[in-house]
Each structure stands twice: as C-alpha cells, then as structure tokens.
Amino acid sequence: MADTYKKSILDIILKSSPMPKYRFKSVLDITAEDFKKMGAEAVALDIDNTICNDGKDNCIDGLEDWLKEIQGAGIKVMIISNAIPPRPVKIAQKLSLPCLCYAKKPLSYKLRKGAKMMGVETNRLAMVGDQLFADVKAANGCGAIAVRVDPLKGETRYPRYYAMRRKKEAAVLEEFEKRHGYGVYDE
Ligand SMILES: [Mg+2]
C-alpha cells in the first residue's frame, strides 16, 4: 500500500476514533509534569462526571488547589462543556476559568475555538473528559490530546443513556488496557 494512501486512511480512522491517548482515574491525578510530558500547553476540562457530579453545581474536593498547581506551572486551563447555560458559565465563573458551553462534542469546533482562545495550537490542547464518544472523539477529531478520566460516581440523570454509553466504552477501554495503563507513558 502506498505510504500516502495508508497515512490518509489512518488519519480518517484516527479522527473518528473514541480511543484515548492517555487515561487517568481522576483529574486530580494529572500533574503539571504529566501535561508537559504530553506536550500540552493548555487544558480543556469537561464538567459533568469529570469535575462535577452529574448535573450538580459543586466541583469535586481538591479541584481549586489542583488548578492552582497546574496554572502555577504556566499551563492554561478552560472549560469546554456540552452543558447548556447558565449552569456551566456559573461553574466556570466560580473557578475563574474561561468557558465554552453547548459544545456539541463529539464535534470538534469548540475545541479548535478554545485552543485559539488560549493562544495555543490545537495539538497542544489536552481535552480532559469522561466520555469516549464525546470528549475523546472531539479531541481526536481535531488533533487535540485526548485524555480520559474515569467518570465520577453517581450518573443519575440519564441512567439508560449512561448504561448504553458505558457498555460501548468498555470494549474500547479493554483494547486500551492491552497497550497502556493509567498515566502518561513514553512513546
Ligand atoms: Mg462528561
């Protein structure tokens, strides 16, 4: 197979892939050093089941200290959420973070916009979220760094939807586990 053809086919597959690049148990487990090793200069955080329990306004304990550490290391942080305003805006304001909401992930256009807002190339933006078929696909769709965190407990708003999604995700995560564990790895 010609190399250019092979590359373009691989590009198409990768762009629609729900396979994360890295996996962590929680946002709080990712250090500034980890982001630097990934090549990330900016971080986009998902809200629901990533930094806030499903549909709730309060963020997980320790998030503000974590933000201080990450931002203190010169890494920019913002929120990119599919949630509809005003809730995501209020959460972002409380954390003093820029926010793009109603992002329609797995579409990637708000990630591109977010990277521009942060003043970084899209491939320097780490999208951190819990959903492979939303956050991770959106990241892969624009060449951002796809970081998957395990969902927070208590997905109560749409139980059927989540059960279906998590079942689909299990197959992808099983494949991921054959290659990598949690954390950043050397290429
Ligand atoms: Mg989420």
Q: Which domains does the chain have, with CATH numbers?
A: 18-179 (3.40.50.1000)
Distance 172 CA to ligand 1 centre (A): 17
Distance 131 CA to ligand 1 centre (A): 6
Give the chain's radius of gyration (CA, Å).
Answer: 16
Distance 74 CA to ligand 1 centre (A): 25
Distance CA 96, CA 47 (A): 14
Give the pLDDT confidence score for residue 162 in this predicted structure. 87
What's the first-to-final CA gap in the chain, in angstroms? Answer: 25
Distance 46 CA to ligand 1 centre (A): 6
Distance 80 CA to ligand 1 centre (A): 10
Distance 1 CA to ligand 1 centre (A): 39
pLDDT of 48-103, one tens digit each?
999 999 989 999 999 999 999 999 999 999 999 999 999 999 999 999 999 999 99
Torsion over CA: 129, 135, 136, 139 (sign) = negative
pLDDT of 111-145, one tens digit each?
999 999 999 999 999 999 999 999 999 999 999 99
Give the pLDDT confidence score for residue 1 in this predicted structure. 63
Distance 174 CA to ligand 1 centre (A): 20
Distance 171 CA to ligand 1 centre (A): 19
What amino acid occupies position 140? N
Distance 82 CA to ligand 1 centre (A): 8
Q: pTM (2 decimals)?
A: 0.94
Distance 3 CA to ligand 1 centre (A): 37
